[in-house]
Amino acid sequence: MQAAKQLQSHPAVINSSIGVIGFSLGGYYALWLAEKMPATIAAIVTFYGTRGGTFFKSHAPVLGHFAERDVYEPQRSVQRLEECLRAANRKAELYTYPGTTHWFFEENRPDAFNAPAAQLAWTRTLEFLDQHLV
């Protein structure tokens, strides 16, 4: 939360909205942060990170990128996240990338990196942030 507050005070950000991108556990924290700072966080992108609970305080739309075969975030966790977001009437776009595993976006993980899925996820991320951040 302190980092978001610090960012808000930066001259290049004042009067602008903030988006958060998180990977794995960082995705969990991005979703958590939007609930804790609803007036600050305007968009969330999570890569293979979920979180249960309520999202009634958050106003941020969510973009999620998930692996088809993920031992850390199985499809039931993704479904639960989607249910929680829908229950709170939050806009959510959640994608599962066929043939991928956890860390599919990370080039430094040759055991999991999937270039086509990573490129598509990044294109979707940029379009999403462009649409939701001012």
What pLDDT does 1 receive? 66
**CATH of 2-9+17-132 given 3.90.1200.10, 3.40.30.10, 3.40.50.1820, 3.30.470.20:** 3.40.50.1820
Residue boundaries of the structural domains of the chain: 2-9+17-132
Query: How many CB atoms are located within 10 Å of the residue 12 CB?
Result: 6
**Strand-pair partners of 47:** 23, 65
Q: Is the dihedral of CA 123, 118, 107, 103 positive or negative?
A: positive
What pLDDT does 70 receive? 97
What pLDDT does 13 receive? 65
Residue numbers of the chain with a pLDDT score lower than 50: none
What pLDDT does 40 receive? 87
What pLDDT does 134 receive? 72
DSSP assignment of 69-98 equals: E-SSS-HHHHHHHHHHHHHTT--EEEEEEE
What pLDDT does 32 receive? 94
